Amino acid sequence: MMVDCDENMIVHLLRNFHPNRLRPQGVRLEKERPRLMKIQNGVCPLCPEESRGSLVNDGKVTHIDHKVTVKAFAKKILQGDLTFDEAYRQLWEDSNLRAVHHRCNLQRNQLAKAVAKAADKVQG
């Protein structure tokens, strides 16, 4: 069955497809944070090199970030480059996840929104 979705619906589904924010393998994200932090030697990859701070195993302080964003995968689905299942699996692969500071994640998201807004102005 095909369901007609817009980009916002796809973004929501990619983020919340499994109950309790489970990864495809059935592991809760809160259990992944310490493992990702260990792989990264406890360092936030988004912090400027000279001021890299250590990460803390607390979901309010340390977020799990997607290197390739949920919106980018939603666009690939809408363009027909990926199926929903392919996009969902790639979105939650270890290679696309990283532990980052809350503030670094928010700054990255704000910058991405500003760039998208500027691009829309240029196109429109």
Number of domains in the chain: 1
Note down the domain range covering 71.
Answer: 7-123
1 lies in some domain: no
100 lies in some domain: yes
pTM tops 0.85: no
* Cβ neighbours around 83 below 10 Å, total: 11
**Beta partners for residue 28, in sequence order:** 22
Averaged pLDDT of the chain: 83
Q: Is 11 left (phi over 0), alpha (psi -120 to 50) or beta?
A: alpha
| 7-11, 94-98, 109-113, 115-119: least confidently modelled range | 7-11
29 lies in some domain: yes
34 lies in some domain: yes
Q: pLDDT digit string (tens) for 58-104? A: 989 999 999 999 889 999 998 999 988 888 889 988 899 999 999 99
Q: Using CA atoms, how far apart are residues 30 and 35, in angstroms rounded to an integer?
A: 10
Alpha helices by DSSP H, listed for 54-101, are 70-78, 84-91
108 lies in some domain: yes
Position 39 scores a pLDDT of 94
30 lies in some domain: yes
